[in-house]
Amino acid sequence: MTKRLTIAIYDFTDCEGCEVVLSTLKENLLALEDRFDIVNWRLAQDACKDGPYDVTIIEGTPVTGDEIALLKELREKSGAIVALGACASIAGIPGIMDKGEREKWYKKIYGPEYKPIGVDSLPLAAYVRVEHMIHGCPVNAGELVRTIEELASGKKPKYRDYSVCFDCKEAGNTCRLLNDKICFGPITQGGCKAVCISGGSPCYGCFGLREDANIDGLVRILRWASSPKEIRGHLKIFFNHIPEYKDAFESALKRGRTKRP
């Protein structure tokens, strides 16, 4: 008989939208209930066990000393940490504002005497090892179920090996790049069903970069119609605190504008 996984679900600073998605999956989770037990989930349970856990799923980004300490404690008592949603995996919306701007607005909104307890918003991986990231803002229900199924089967969850462009083609969308509009779809991991682009918005990359992302190639195309400032503004939405992503973009931008073929 396969050992039942013990799963804990925690949240830090966030909107809890990804946990709302999780809470709507009752029928899907019931089909797997013989393979795992959710033993700690503040939003759905009164009784919570204190670990250790086989898997801890965490939504949100830690922005206080207490949250950072709890994250490190959870790392110690968890076999695997899974980041749930963009806030946990790439700092998400809280990460748009950097530390300097945050301090300025604290004083402007709360007054010069206010002493904030928050720190810069960083992804979970800035503090601890993370075994898997379920990207999205919010997460896609199908991706969430797939990840839990693979964990419950004793497998290591895999990332999608295709980009959002595949989802766009399936949805019948016209390519934004062909219309000289910014889009990060070609370098972003697929699986989101291209809901943003189908709704008229660009892809900001909330599903995280695909493993073989050609950032240099995308920047060359974006520079045909967009300025470096516009590209950096788009990049800031979800990749403000991912140094390797920003460095790759900056290197590509410094190579200058190429002529349209």
Give residue 33's Cα distance to chain centre. Answer: 26
Residue with tokens 């390519």: 175
Cβ–Cβ < 8 Å for 192, 171:
no
Three-class SS state of 33: coil
Give residue 259's pLDDT.
66
Q: Which of 62-76, 79-93, 107-121, 156-170 has the lowest mean pLDDT?
A: 107-121
Using alpha carbons, select from 261, 179, 188 the residue that is nearest to residue 225: 179
Q: pLDDT (tens digit, 9 = 90+) per residue, 42-69?
A: 887 777 888 899 999 999 999 899 999 9
Looking at the chain, which residues constitute the CATH 3.40.50.700 domain(s)?
A: 5-152
Give residue 247's pLDDT.
79
DSSP state of 125: G
Please report, to the nearest 10 degrees, the dihedral formed by the alpha carbons of residues 18, 13, 195, 96 taken in order: -170
Q: pLDDT (tens digit, 9 = 90+) per residue, 64-87?
A: 999 999 999 999 999 999 999 999
Using alpha carbons, select from 169, 161, 174, 180 the residue that is nearest to residue 222: 180
Residue 1 confidence (pLDDT) above 60: no
Give residue 30's pLDDT.
65
Mean local confidence (pLDDT), 192-197 = 92
CATH classification for the domain delimited by 5-152, as one of 3.40.50.700, 3.40.50.1000, 3.20.20.120, 3.40.50.300: 3.40.50.700
Residue with tokens 């959002």: 164
**Pair of tokens at residue 260:** 């349209």
Strands (E) across 60-187 are located at 78-84, 132-134
List all residues 6 or more positions away from 130 whose beta carbon is below 8 Å from its beta carbon: 81, 82, 83, 89, 124
Mean local confidence (pLDDT), 205-224 = 88
> Widest CA span of the chain, in angstroms?
63
DSSP string, 200-260: TPPP--TT-B-TT--HHHHHHHHTTT--HHHHHHHHHHHHTT-HHHHHHHHHHHHT-PPPP
What's the pLDDT band for 168 if we cut at 50, 70, 90? very high
Give residue 248's pLDDT.
80
Q: pLDDT (tens digit, 9 = 90+) per residue, 217-233?
A: 899 899 888 988 898 88
Cα angle 49, 151, 79; round to 5: 50
Please list the residues that pair with 209 across neighbouring strands: 188
For residue 101, CA distances in Å to 83, 104, 121, 157 come to 26, 5, 12, 37
Share of the chain above pLDDT 90, in %: 40
User: How far is residue 236's CA from residue 118's CA, in Å, rounded to a whole number?
Assistant: 20
User: How far is residue 150's CA from residue 153's CA, in Å, rounded to a whole number?
Assistant: 5
Give residue 258's pLDDT.
65
Residue with tokens 């989802």: 167
